[in-house]
C-alpha cells in the first residue's frame, strides 16, 4: 500500500477550477479500473493531491506517469501555459497495511478540513473533491474501495458509515499527524530498538521494524523506494560524473567550465529532490534568483542530453 503525494511546482496550484478537478478524477477513475489498482482514499487540494493506493498488477511508476502526464498536457493546453506542472514526479511512502490503513484514510480525508477548504465535518460530508463523501454515499467515484473499507467498521452499511464518520470526527483533534508521513525505519528503531538496516530509505516507509526489514526482499524495491540523496551525496555524484573535484560546485563567477555542474546541481536538488532554493543557494553561495536561473539552465541541460537523464535515473535506482 502506498501513500502518494503530488505537489504543484513551487507550490503553485494544479487545479484552477472544478473542470480541472473533474478531468483529474475522470482520468484517475479510468486508470484505477483499467489497471486493477485499489484506491482507499483521496483528496484534491488546490496545490497538491493525496492518494492511498494498492497496486496489484500494475507498477505505481507506470500508473502515475500515465495519470500525471495526461493531466499536465490537458491542463497546460487549457490554461495556455507551458513547462512543468508538478514538483518532481511524486512522493510515495510505502505503508504497512494492517496497522495504518484506517489511520491513513482518516488522515487523507481530513485534509480539506485541515487546509481550510471546508469549515467543519458537516461540510466535509458533502465536499465533492475528497473520498470521504464517496464512503458516505454522497458522491460516486469509480475505483474507490468502498465495501472493503466499510467492512472494517462492521455491521450493515448504514451502521458502518456511522462508525466510519465517528472515527473521522475523533481524528479532528489529532491535528496534522506528522508521524504518518514516513520515517518508518527510524521510528521503529526508536520504539522497538530494531536494528534492521535498509540503506537510506526510512523516509519512504511507514511501518514497524519487521515490515521495514521485509522490504529488503522486495524484488521491485527500487520502483517503490527511489534513492534519497542529501545535498552532499548529490554533490559527490555529480562531481564523479563530470570527473571534477566536488568543490567545483562551489566555484562561483561568470559562466565557466563549472557552470554546467552548478546548474545541474541546482535543478536536481530543487526540482527532483524537493530542496528549497534558499537551502541550495546557501550551500553553493548563490542567491535565490541566481538559483532560479540555474534551475532553468539545468533543466535545459538535462533535456538536451539524454545521457544525463539516463545517468540520473540510474542514480535513483542504486
pLDDT at res. 187: 43
Q: Which three cell numbers stand for residue 17?
A: 477550477
Of the chain, the percentage scoring pLDDT greater than 70 comes to 77
Going from the C-alpha of 210 to that of each of 97, 135, 206, 217, 292, the distances in angstroms are 13, 32, 11, 12, 42
* Boundary of a domain, candidates 174, 190, 211: 174
Is the pLDDT confidence value at 199 over 60? no
Regarding whether 106 and 196 lie in a shared domain, the answer is: no
Do residues 245 and 239 make contact, with C-beta atoms less than 8 angstroms apart? yes
pLDDT at res. 269: 85
Regarding whether 187 and 166 lie in a shared domain, the answer is: no
Quote the CA–CA distance of 92 and 265 in Å, as a whole number.
23
Going from the C-alpha of 300 to that of each of 16, 88, 124, 267, the distances in angstroms are 27, 15, 43, 10
pLDDT at res. 2: 84
Quote the CA–CA distance of 91 and 5 in Å, as a whole number.
5
Is the pLDDT confidence value at 215 over 70? no
* Boundary of a domain, candidates 174, 197, 212: 174
Query: Residue 200, CB half-sphere, CA atoms under 13 Å: how many?
Result: 9
pLDDT at res. 272: 77
Q: Give which of 92, 308, 99, 89 is closest to 191, Cα–Cα.
A: 99
Q: Which of 110-119, 192-201, 262-271 has the highest mean pLDDT?
A: 110-119
Regarding whether 249 and 116 lie in a shared domain, the answer is: no
Give the CATH number, domain containing residue 264. 1.10.1750.10
Regarding whether 252 and 207 lie in a shared domain, the answer is: no
Q: Per-residue pLDDT tens for 50-100?
A: 999 988 888 888 888 889 988 999 999 999 988 888 876 677 777 766 667
Burial 97-107 (b: 16+ CB within 10 A, else e): eeebbbbbbbb
Please give the residue range of the domain that contains residue 270: 231-317
Give the CATH number, domain containing residue 108. 3.30.70.1290
Going from the C-alpha of 259 to that of each of 58, 235, 254, 282, the distances in angstroms are 40, 14, 8, 17
Regarding whether 155 and 6 lie in a shared domain, the answer is: yes
Regarding whether 140 and 19 lie in a shared domain, the answer is: yes
Q: Give which of 6, 143, 156 is closest to 134, Cα–Cα.
A: 143
Domain tally, the chain:
3
Regarding whether 235 and 220 lie in a shared domain, the answer is: no
Regarding whether 66 and 170 lie in a shared domain, the answer is: yes
Do residues 179 and 161 make contact, with C-beta atoms less than 8 angstroms apart? no
Regarding whether 242 and 99 lie in a shared domain, the answer is: no
pLDDT at res. 189: 41
Amino acid at each position: 500500500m502506498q501513500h502518494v503525494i503530488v505537489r504543484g511546482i513551487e507550490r503553485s496550484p494544479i487545479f484552477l477550477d472544478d473542470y480541472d478537478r473533474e478531468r483529474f478524477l475522470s482520468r484517475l477513475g479510468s486508470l484505477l479500473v483499467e489497471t486493477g489498482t485499489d484506491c482507499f482514499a483521496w483528496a484534491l487540494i488546490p496545490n497538491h493531491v493525496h492518494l492511498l493506493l494498492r497496486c496489484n498488477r500494475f507498477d505505481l511508476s507506470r500508473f502515475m506517469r500515465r495519470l500525471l502526464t495526461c493531466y499536465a498536457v490537458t491542463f497546460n493546453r487549457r490554461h495556455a501555459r507551458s513547462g512543468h506542472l508538478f514538483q518532481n514526479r511524486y512522493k510515495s511512502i510505502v505503508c504497512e497495511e494492517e496497522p495504518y490503513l484506517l489511520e491513513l484514510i482518516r488522515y487523507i480525508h481530513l485534509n480539506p478540513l485541515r487546509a481550510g477548504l471546508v469549515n467543519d465535518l458537516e461540510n466535509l460530508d458533502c465536499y465533492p473533491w475528497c473520498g470521504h463523501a464517496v464512503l458516505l454515499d454522497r458522491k460516486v467515484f469509480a475505483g474507490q474501495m468502498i465495501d472493503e473499507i466499510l467492512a472494517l467498521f462492521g455491521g450493515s452499511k448504514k451502521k458502518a458509515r456511522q462508525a466510519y464518520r465517528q472515527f473521522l470526527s475523533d481524528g479532528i483533534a489529532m491535528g496534522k499527524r506528522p508521524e504518518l508521513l514516513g520515517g518508518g525505519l527510524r521510528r521503529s528503531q526508536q520504539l522497538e530498538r530494531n536494528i534492521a538496516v535498509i540503506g537510506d530509505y526510512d523516509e519512504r516507509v511507514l511501518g514497524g521494524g519487521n515490515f521495514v526489514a521485509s522490504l529488503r526482499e522486495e524484488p521491485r524495491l527500487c520502483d517503490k523506494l527511489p534513492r534519497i540523496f542529501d545535498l552532499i551525496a548529490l554533490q559527490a555524484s555529480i562531481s564523479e560524473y563530470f570527473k571534477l573535484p566536488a568543490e567545483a560546485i562551489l566555484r562561483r563567477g561568470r559562466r565557466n567550465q563549472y557552470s554546467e555542474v552548478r546548474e545541474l546541481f541546482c535543478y536536481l536538488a530543487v526540482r527532483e529532490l524537493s530542496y528549497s532554493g534558499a537551502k541550495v543557494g546557501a550551500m553553493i553561495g548563490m542567491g535565490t534568483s541566481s538559483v532560479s536561473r540555474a534551475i532553468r539552465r539545468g533543466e535545459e541541460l538535462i533535456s538536451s542530453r539524454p545521457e544525463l537523464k539516463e545517468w540520473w535515473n540510474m542514480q535513483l535506482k542504486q
